[in-house]
Amino acid sequence: AMVHYLDAYPEKKHHPKEDQYLFAILKKRTSEGAEAMARLEQEHAVGDDRIKALEAALHQYASGARDGFDAFSQAFERFAEFYRNHMLLEEHVILPLVKKYFTAEDWAESAAGFRENADPMAGTGDPATHEDFQRIFSRLVAAAPAPIGLGGGPYKAD
């Protein structure tokens, strides 16, 4: 469920909008941050590969492979570290430039583009999709050990 969400929203919806709106508009306004934008665009381009690696490690773990947990744990740590750094670059370099250079029209265009995205966890878009993700998320929270979740352990399919 976690991997599906990461693929369905950030990779398929959010990152393309960053490229199409934030970066494209910002490039028209300034050359500041060009290196950071190029790096982020390259990272967006290989996002599917990162998801596939995480998914493969998860399947290895779920199949009961001897080193499955360690492999998944390492894959998850690499994925989390990558995205932590990715978001920090956006927050510390790109967003200040957006605030500095975007015009009112730029903000309106960007906001309209991002509104087209339906984040299933935020409740935007199709209500049925939101409910599906909420059910999955609830199951994850129930199964995850404390302090992350409620500690219910593995669960059976409905």
What pLDDT, on the 0 to 100 scale, is given for residue 58?
A: 86
Report helix, strand or coil for 158. Answer: coil
Q: Which DSSP category does 95 fall into?
A: H
Task: For residue range 38-50, list pLDDT tens digits in order.
Answer: 999 999 888 888 8
What pLDDT, on the 0 to 100 scale, is given for residue 150?
A: 66
Task: For residue range 104-158, list pLDDT tens digits in order.
Answer: 999 999 988 877 765 555 555 556 555 666 776 676 666 655 655 566 655 444 4
C-beta of residue 120 within 8 angstroms of C-beta of residue 132: yes
What pLDDT, on the 0 to 100 scale, is given for residue 147?
A: 58
What pLDDT, on the 0 to 100 scale, is given for residue 127?
A: 61
Task: For residue range 77-94, list pLDDT tens digits in order.
Answer: 888 888 888 889 999 999
Helix axes 47-62, 68-89, angle to 10 degrees: 160
Report the distance separating Cα 45 and Cα 20, nearest Å. 13
